[in-house]
Every structure is written in C-alpha cells, then in structure tokens.
C-alpha cells in the first residue's frame, strides 16, 4: 500500500519528521511491524540490528615489561531496547560501518589496560579471565553508544622475537616430550610384548595342532592296525579256545581212562587178592585145626597129608581167579608173574601151617610132660579130612 513501510526482522525503522510519539528522541522507532509514512512529510531510515564483528590486533606491554601482540575478535550488535536503538541511531545511522571500527578501538584500549596489570604467565594460562575483565570494563562504555557485546575471544598471544613464551613453555614442552617418549617407549614395549605373546600363542597353537594331528594320526594308525589284526587275532583266539577245549577233553579222557583202568584192573585184582587172602587164612585155620587133631600121629603122615592137600589149595585159588576179570598188561611175562604169585602164596600158606603145627605140637608136648612127667601120650579120637 502507498506510504506503508515495514522493517526487516533484523532492522529498526527510524521515522523522522513530525512530533507524534517522538518524546525525547529525534525520531520514532518501529521494530517488528509496519507503519504508515507520509511522503514528503516523513523520512524513513533503517538501522541494522544484526550481529557485527570487530577484530583487534594490539601490541600490549605486560606488568613485566614484555611486549605482547594480542589478537581478539569481538561479537557485538545494537541493543534490542528502544534506548539502545536511539543511541546507536544517533551515532551510526549515517555510517553504520563505524560501529566495528569504534568497537575495536574501545576494546584495544581496555585490552592494553588490563594486560598491563597482568604477567605473561597469567595472560597465557588465564585467557578466559582476561576476556572477562575486558568485557566487564567495556560494558558501560559500549552501552552508552547503544551496543552490547555477545562474546570476546582471544585468538593469539605472541611475544615476537623475545622468546619468553617459548622459554616459559620449554619445561612443560620438555616434560611433555619426555612423557611422550616414555609413552612411546611403553607403547613400543607393549607392542613388542603383544607381538611376542602373539608369536607364542601362534607357536603354542601350532604345537597343540601338531600334537592333536599326531594323536589323531596315531589313533587312525592304531585303529587300522587293530582292524588289520582283528581277523588273525580272532582266528588265533578261536584256535586257542579249540586247543584249550581239546586239552580239557584229552585230560577228561585220560582221567576217564584212568578210572576205567582202576575199575577194570586194579579193583578186580585187589578184590581177588583179598579173596585169595581170606581163603588162604580160612584154609590155614582148617589145616591148623586138623594138625592139632592129628598132633599125635606121625610127622611124616601129617606132612604127607599137607602135601596131598597143597594141590587142592592151589586149585581152589586158581578156581577163585577163574571168574575174575584180570587184564594182563605185559603179555607172557604177566602170566608168569601171576602163576609165580599163586605158587608163592601156596608155599607161603604151607610154611605157615607147618610153623603153626610145629609150635602147637611142641607146646602141647611140653604141657603133657610137665603135667605127669611121662613120655608122649598117644592121641585118641578120629580126624576126618574133607
């Protein structure tokens, strides 16, 4: 619309001419909205409210008399309140670039003043303190011209060719270098140790792998050997079991044969020998009785009778052997031994009978002689021989 003006968001519109709403200010301030401006009767100008920047590079002398070149950057702007806009408009509206120049000069003066009261060590180590003091001392002056400072940054501090800052930093630099060397040595040592540990681990892993492979190969070879020997071992084991069974069978057969021989030869022979012994004893007792009965007869007749009876005794003994199961083990020699045994038994029986009869006759004669003191008395009665 004709005559309606609107300022930008970062601008203040200053309307001069007329007296309405001006108060003590020579112009009316409009921000954030538009206003009607009568042509010819009113004049409109715009003041920036945007952020501005000023740089300072000033050579300052410290309390120690050492010259330092300090570089700083100031961020400032026109204040948002009406008073600050009026103050700034009255000073910088025709040449707004003068705001940066004037701000730099103001801060350069305060910077020289404050650095002059500080040592190099304080300036280097306490830059924030320096910036805070400069801001505090310049606040009132900057407010008078309608400006506010948002920040002050000390960019660099240089002592030129004096080398004071370098000398001041030398111990710290040496300590830092020493620490860096120590750290580098420790890092190198740790790297070497880590590499050695890695090599040891690799060697250990290789050794374990070789051991496992060797064990696996040995197990495979042993399994193959066992598999290869399984057939022959099983066959040998079976043959051994067969031989063991055959040996046990042979032992049992031998024991059975021994029992058979005992039953067939030894036991019958022992039984027959016992029978012959019993018969011989019985016959001896009978002969003894007969001899006692015929003790009064002639000795020659008695011997005759015994001789006559001897064939019958041998015959009876032979008849006893007739039914016996006698096995002859050594052929004709065995038969000769059996016959000699029978004859020997008969002669033994005969000698025994003779001795018994002789002993009995002598005892009876001595008893008769002692009883009546006479010669032998003839035996009465009759003796019958079966």
Question: CA 122, CA 117: separation in Å to the nearest integer?
Answer: 10
Burial class (CB in 10 A: 0-12, 13-18, 19+), 379: middle
Nearest to 30 by CA among 6, 48, 3, 4: 6
For the residues 244-267, what does the mean pLDDT come to? 85
Question: CA 119, CA 84: separation in Å to the nearest integer?
Answer: 36
Question: CA 24, CA 27: separation in Å to the nearest integer?
Answer: 9
pLDDT of the residue at 282: 81
Q: Which residues contact 166 (CB under 8 A, 6 or more apart)?
A: 159
pLDDT of the residue at 76: 92
Has residue 278 got a pLDDT over 60? yes
Question: CA 235, CA 229: separation in Å to the nearest integer?
Answer: 10
More confident residue, 146 or 357: 146
Question: What residue has token string 């496992």?
Answer: 212
pLDDT of the residue at 102: 92
Has residue 266 got a pLDDT over 90? no
pLDDT of the residue at 345: 62
For the residues 188-217, what does the mean pLDDT come to? 91
Nearest to 74 by CA among 52, 41, 97: 52
Architecture of the structural domain at 4-167: 2-Layer Sandwich (3.30)
What average pLDDT is seen over the chain?
Answer: 78
pLDDT band at 171 (very low <50, low <70, confident <90, very high): confident
pLDDT band at 376 (very low <50, low <70, confident <90, very high): very low
| CA dist 281 → 125, 285, 308, 345, 360 (Å) | 150, 6, 18, 11, 17
Question: CA 55, CA 105: separation in Å to the nearest integer?
Answer: 9
Nearest to 275 by CA among 339, 337, 319, 340: 319
pLDDT of the residue at 208: 92
More confident residue, 259 or 304: 259
For the residues 297-309, what does the mean pLDDT come to? 61
Out of 186-195, 226-235, 237-246, 272-281, the most confident range is: 186-195
Backbone angles phi, psi at 95, to 5 degrees: -145, 85
pLDDT band at 73 (very low <50, low <70, confident <90, very high): very high
Nearest to 282 by CA among 363, 352, 359, 341: 352
Has residue 292 got a pLDDT over 60? yes
pLDDT of the residue at 90: 86
Has residue 81 got a pLDDT over 90? no
Decide: 72 and 34 in contact? Cβ < 8 Å. Answer: no
pLDDT band at 75 (very low <50, low <70, confident <90, very high): very high
Domain regions of the chain by residue span: 4-167, 258-372
pLDDT band at 200 (very low <50, low <70, confident <90, very high): very high
Q: Which residues contact 359 (CB under 8 A, 6 or more apart)?
A: none
pLDDT of the residue at 381: 37
pLDDT of the residue at 224: 86
- Specify the pTM: 0.42
Give the tens place of pLDDT for each residue, 9-50. Answer: 888 888 877 665 555 677 888 887 878 787 777 888 888 988
Question: CA 73, CA 151: separation in Å to the nearest integer?
Answer: 8
Question: CA 41, CA 211: separation in Å to the nearest integer?
Answer: 108
Q: What is the 3-state secondary structure (H, E, C) of the chain?
A: CCCEECCCCCEEEEEECCCCCCCCCCCEEECCCCEECCCCCCEEEEEECCCEEEEEEEEEECCCCCEEEEEEEEEEEECCCHHHHHHHHHHHCCCCCHHHHHHHHHHHHHHHHHHHCCCHHHHHHCHHHHHHHHHHHHHHHHHHCCEEEEEEEEEEEECCCCCHHHHHHHHHHHHHHHHHHHHHHHHHHHHHHHHHHHHHHHHHHHHHHHHHHHHHHHHHHHHHHHHHHHHHHHHHHHHHHHHHHHHHHHHHHHHHHHHHHHHHHHHHHHHHHHHHHHHHHHHHHHHHHHHHHCCCCCHHHHHHHHHHHHHHHHHHHHHHHHCCCCCCCCHHHHHHHHHHHHHHHHHHHHHHHHHHHHHHHHHHHHHHHHHHCCCCCCCCCCCCCC
pLDDT of the residue at 315: 66
pLDDT of the residue at 83: 87
Out of 23-32, 90-99, 308-317, 334-343, the most confident range is: 90-99
The number of CA neighbours under 13 Å toward the Cβ of 176 is: 5
């Amino acid at each position: 619309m004709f005559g309606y003006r609107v300022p930008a968001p970062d601008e203040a519109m200053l309307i001069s001419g007329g007296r309405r709403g001006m108060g003590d200010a020579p112009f009316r301030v409009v921000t954030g909205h538009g206003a009607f401006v009568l042509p010819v009767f009113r004049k409109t100008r715009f003041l920036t409210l945007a952020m501005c920047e000023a740089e300072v590079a000033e050579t300052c002398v410290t309390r120690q008399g050492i010259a330092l070149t300090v570089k700083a950057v100031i961020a400032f702007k026109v204040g948002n309140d009406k008073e600050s806009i009026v103050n700034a408009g009255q000073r910088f509206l025709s040449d707004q670039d003068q705001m940066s120049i004037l701000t730099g000069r103001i801060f350069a003066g305060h910077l020289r003043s404050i650095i002059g009261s500080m040592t190099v060590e304080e300036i280097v180590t306490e830059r924030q303190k320096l910036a805070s003091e400069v801001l505090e001392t310049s606040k009132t002056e900057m407010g008078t011209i309608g400006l506010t400072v948002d920040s002050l940054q000390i960019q660099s501090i240089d002592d030129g060719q004096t080398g004071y800052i370098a000398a001041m930093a030398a111990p710290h630099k040496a300590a830092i270098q020493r620490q860096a060397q120590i750290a580098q040595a420790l890092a190198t040592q740790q790297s070497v140790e880590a590499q050695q540990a890695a090599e040891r681990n690799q060697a250990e892993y290789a050794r374990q792998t070789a051991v496992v492979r060797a064990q696996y190969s040995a197990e495979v070879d042993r399994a193959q050997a066992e598999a290869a020997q399984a057939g022959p071992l099983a066959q040998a084991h079976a043959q051994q079991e067969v031989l063991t069974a055959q040996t046990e069978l042979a032992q049992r057969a031998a024991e059975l044969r021994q029992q058979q021989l005992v039953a067939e030869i030894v036991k019958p022979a022992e039984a027959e020998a016992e029978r012959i012994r019993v018969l011989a004893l019985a016959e001896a007792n009978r002969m003894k009785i007969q001899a006692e009965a015929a003790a009064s007869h002639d000795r020659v007749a008695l011997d005759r009778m015994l001789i006559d009876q001897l064939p019958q005794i041998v015959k009876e003994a032979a008849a006893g052997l007739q039914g016996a199961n006698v096995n002859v083990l050594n052929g004709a020699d065995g038969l000769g031994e059996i016959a000699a045994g029978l004859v020997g038994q008969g002669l033994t029986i005969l000698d025994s009978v003779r001795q018994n009869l002789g002993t009995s006759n002598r005892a009876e004669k001595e008893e008769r002689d002692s009883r009546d003191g006479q010669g032998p008395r003839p035996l009465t009665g009759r003796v019958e021989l079966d």
